Amino acid sequence: MLENGAPAGELAGKRALVTGGSRGIGAAVVRRFLAAGAEVLTTARSEPDTVPEGATFVTADVRTRAGAEALADAARRVLGGVDVLVHNAGGAQPYPDASAIPDEEWQDQLDLCYLAPVRLNSLLTPDMRERRTGAVVHVSSAAVATPLPQFLHYTPAKAALENYSQGLAADLAPFGVRVNTVSPGRVATPGGEATRKVWARLNPASGPAGGGGDNVPLGRDGQPRDIAEAVLFLVSGRASWLTGVNLTVDGGEFPRS
């Protein structure tokens, strides 16, 4: 049987950790993994009102080394280890221009979008390497291809993540561990909508950040499930010969060379 084109139960027996899984894309990934048969642990800085049925939630701030260590310990305690690791935590609000971005915001984005995955990988991929199996997905952003001054605290941190992801893929490939990236375009999420409202207030004459559905060649904004399906594919056996890939999922809006 197939579910959305994927074999039902294809993640049966897999243990997955998804960061930033309380809403939006992260929550969609959690639900999709659960439907595919995985055991899922997810996390965010604050506990949400609801957690997808079947998932385990722990509160953790992955921006710090201590938070990453606490989350890794929780994954070992709850899951007994990790087979699939998805780094989804992230997000940023725009500023009027690059000079208006405060110093602490630059550091916060580096901690959240780049150093959090680095730290968590350093704690959890050695076990994957030893077992010679595992899959890691970093969630970046299609906006890296066209960085805007108002988001220069965010897109360079994501660009660093993409570069690191490629290097880590080369490092772990000899041990059967695959590392890939998914770069979403404009997706209809609560966080995305909040960002677009701030953008509209700062740039009333320029239209919505990243354009609207009319600017997407496929004619609509993305949905969280669109990204979740891409993530599922990359961690599944169907992508067993893919590593070091950056899969842009944006309806064709952001061209990449």
> What pLDDT, in 10s, does the model give residues 118-175?
999 999 999 999 999 999 999 999 999 999 999 999 999 999 999 999 999 999 999 9
| pLDDT tens profile 6-40 | 777 999 999 999 999 999 999 999 999 999 999 99
Q: How many CB atoms lie within 10 A of CB 240?
A: 10
- Give the angle subtended at the CA of 113 by the CAs of 45 and 68, to the nearest 5°: 50
| Residue 189 pLDDT exceeds 90 | no
Residue 224's pLDDT band, with cuts at 50, 70 and 90, is: very high
Mean confidence (pLDDT) of the chain: 91
Residue 164's nearest CA partner among 123, 110, 92, 128 is 110
Residue 175 gets which letter from DSSP? G
Token pair for residue 169? 């893929």
The verdict on residue 207 lying in a domain is: no
Distance CA 30, CA 207 (A): 32
Active site residue 154: yes
**Distances from the Cα of 137 to the Cα of 4, 180, 253, angstroms:** 20, 5, 22
| Residue 61 pLDDT exceeds 90 | yes
Domain that holds residue 137: 2-190+224-248
Residue 39 gets which letter from DSSP? E
CATH of the domain at 236: 3.40.50.720
* Cβ pair 89, 23 in contact under 8 A: no
The verdict on residue 254 lying in a domain is: no
Distance CA 157, CA 160 (A): 5
- Give the angle subtended at the CA of 245 by the CAs of 62 and 70, to the nearest 5°: 15
The mean per-residue pLDDT over the stretch 71-84 comes to: 98
| Residue 257 pLDDT exceeds 90 | no
Choice among 95, 114, 154, 164 that is catalytic: 154
Distance CA 27, CA 251 (A): 21
The verdict on residue 215 lying in a domain is: no
Share of the chain above pLDDT 90, in %: 78
Distance CA 90, CA 111 (A): 10
* Cβ pair 155, 92 in contact under 8 A: no
| pLDDT tens profile 190-221 | 666 766 676 576 666 655 554 555 688 999 99
Predicted local confidence at residue 210, as pLDDT: 47
Predicted local confidence at residue 6, as pLDDT: 73
Residue 210's nearest CA partner among 232, 183, 235 is 183
pLDDT greater at residue 193 or residue 81: 81
Question: Strand pairing of 39-44 and 15-19?
Answer: parallel
The verdict on residue 208 lying in a domain is: no
The verdict on residue 211 lying in a domain is: no
Distance CA 68, CA 112 (A): 11
The verdict on residue 200 lying in a domain is: no
The verdict on residue 40 lying in a domain is: yes
Q: Which spans in 102-240 are helix H?
A: 103-109, 116-131, 155-172, 190-202, 224-235
Q: Looking at the 3D structure of the chain, how many domains does it have?
A: 1
Distance CA 111, CA 35 (A): 31
Distance CA 166, CA 245 (A): 7
The verdict on residue 127 lying in a domain is: yes
Predicted local confidence at residue 122, as pLDDT: 98
* Cβ pair 180, 247 in contact under 8 A: yes
Residue 50's pLDDT band, with cuts at 50, 70 and 90, is: confident
Residue 55's pLDDT band, with cuts at 50, 70 and 90, is: very high
* Cβ pair 63, 116 in contact under 8 A: yes
